[in-house]
Amino acid sequence: MEFSNHISFSLLFFTILLSFASNGVVEARKGVISPISHLISESLYNSLFLHKDDNACPAKNFYPYNAFIEATKCFPKFGNTGDLITRKREIAAFLAQISHETTGGWATAPDGPYAWGLCFKEEINPQSNYCDSTNTQWPCFPGKSYFGRGPIQLSWNYNYGPAGKALGFDGLRNPEIVSNNSVIAFKTGLWFWMTEQRPKPSCHDVMVGKYKPTAADLAANRTAGYGLVTNIINGGLECGRPDDARVNSRIGFFKRYAQLFNVDTGPNLDCANQLPFN
Ligand SMILES: *[C@@H]1O[C@H](CO)[C@@H](O)[C@H](O)[C@H]1NC(C)=O
Ligand SMILES: *[C@@H]1O[C@H](CO)[C@@H](O)[C@H](O)[C@H]1NC(C)=O
């Protein structure tokens, strides 16, 4: 008890120092205290993912709050761009998308289907080794499989390769690390979220209002909103079709999380009217 009081006091003191410091100093200290933890406390985090540590969840204990916070320090713009509502909405959108990717929920699940995010860390029954052998920039390593791992279910050699390069691990020779190291796992999710992969914008740019649609985007109804993020993540399979169950699940998580963050969801939740990117 005494110990935690002491910690809160130091944090408060540090926050005051930060708010009086010049911008440059705040920049330099960003690695010391993540601003994210001011927007999402451990108790809020745990209230989103009510069942992630259930015995029924294969990812039990793999996605703790601290690992998420630690990973965000690599991406200082995440949840830290725009006004307070925009910042909270971006965090809620990211957590909603990774929840769908790892959901263990079902229609009549305890606390509802959207209380079961972060239940899985590896894809169950992968239908292939997700090796695109035509990709010579990121050649598959013999015997390795690039099925979905971690919170964003990173898949394919052409994602494992660049994610590892950006984050400091060998994604092609050691894809397993994504489901064996919690901080790296979260970093791959954030890497995907923050990184523009043309012709797709980054999910981050869409959620913070930096996305500028091209004429082709406008003709395809790819206007900003959570639905466009779904399009970026898996539009080829899920968008441009009415009432897709996977899209509805992504939206369901987002609505619940936005409410818990006390922000509105913004427009264009769906991607049923959007054409996928090529
Ligand atoms: C990492 O892999 C080892 C060996 O397979 C296993 O014992 C350990 O539990 C794994 N750690 C995590 C965090 O998944
Ligand atoms: C764009 O949205 C409108 C209105 O929902 C729809 O009628 C149209 O078919 C959509 N365009 C494409 C290319 O899907």
Q: Which of 57, 118, 180 to mutate to test ligand 1, by most ligand atoms within 8 A of the CB atom? A: 180
Please check whether residues 86 and 45 belong to one and the same domain. Answer: yes
Q: Give the atom of ligand 1 at the shortest distance from the alpha carbon of 62.
A: 13
Model confidence at 156: pLDDT above 50? yes
As for how many domains the chain has, the answer is 2
Q: What is the residue-averaged pLDDT of the chain? A: 90
pTM of the entire predicted model:
0.88
Please check whether residues 37 and 99 belong to one and the same domain. Answer: yes
Quick: pLDDT tens for 107-134.
Answer: 999 999 999 999 999 999 999 999 999 9
Is the residue at 17 inside a domain? no
Percent share of the chain, pLDDT over 70: 88
Please check whether residues 203 and 136 belong to one and the same domain. Answer: no
Q: How many other CB atoms sit within 10 Å of the CB of residue 128?
A: 10
Please check whether residues 53 and 165 belong to one and the same domain. Answer: no
Is the residue at 185 inside a domain? no
Q: Is 27 annotated as catalytic?
A: no
Mean pLDDT of 214-232: 97
Please check whether residues 87 and 202 belong to one and the same domain. Answer: yes
Please check whether residues 98 and 128 belong to one and the same domain. Answer: no
Model confidence at 152: pLDDT above 60? yes
Quick: pLDDT tens for 50-82.
Answer: 999 999 999 999 999 999 999 999 999 999 999
Determine if the peptide bond prior to 242 is cis (ω within 30°): no
pLDDT at 21: 33
Tell me which residues have their CB closer than 6 angstroms to ligand 1.
62, 180
At residue 27 the predicted structure's pLDDT band, cuts being 50, 70 and 90, is very low
Please check whether residues 57 and 150 belong to one and the same domain. Answer: no
Please check whether residues 113 and 201 belong to one and the same domain. Answer: yes
Is the residue at 25 inside a domain? no
Is the residue at 62 inside a domain? yes
Is the residue at 136 inside a domain? yes
Is the residue at 8 inside a domain? no
| Domain CATH code at residue 252 | 1.10.530.10
Model confidence at 1: pLDDT above 80? no
Quick: pLDDT tens for 185-214.
Answer: 999 999 999 999 999 999 999 999 999 999
Cα-to-centroid distance, 199 and ligand 2 (Å) = 20
Helix/strand/coil percent split, the chain, to 5:
50, 0, 50
Model confidence at 29: pLDDT above 70? no
Q: Name the catalytic one among 2, 70, 101, 176.
A: 101
Model confidence at 13: pLDDT above 90? no
Q: Give the atom of ligand 2 at the shortest distance from the alpha carbon of 219.
A: 13
Q: Give the atom of ligand 2 at the shortest distance from the alpha carbon of 275.
A: 14
Mean pLDDT of 41-57: 98
Mean pLDDT of 162-185: 98
Model confidence at 23: pLDDT above 50? no
d(CA 69, CA 33): 10
Q: Which residue has the tokens 């069942």?
A: 51
Please check whether residues 113 and 202 belong to one and the same domain. Answer: yes
Please check whether residues 59 and 150 belong to one and the same domain. Answer: no
- Supply the range of the domain harboring residue 43: 31-120+196-278
Please check whether residues 36 and 157 belong to one and the same domain. Answer: no
Atom 3 of ligand 2, residue of closest alpha carbon: 273
At residue 215 the predicted structure's pLDDT band, cuts being 50, 70 and 90, is very high
Model confidence at 157: pLDDT above 90? yes
Atom 9 of ligand 1, residue of closest alpha carbon: 180
**Using a 6 Å cutoff on CB, does residue 220 contact ligand 2?**
yes
At residue 34 the predicted structure's pLDDT band, cuts being 50, 70 and 90, is low
d(CA 46, CA 41): 9
For 154, which DSSP code?
B
| Domain CATH code at residue 152 | 3.30.20.10
Is the residue at 55 inside a domain? yes
- For every residue of 108-149, DSSP letters joined together read T-TT-GGG-TT--SB-SS-SS----TT-SSSPPPTT-----B
Is the residue at 59 inside a domain? yes
Please check whether residues 113 and 200 belong to one and the same domain. Answer: yes
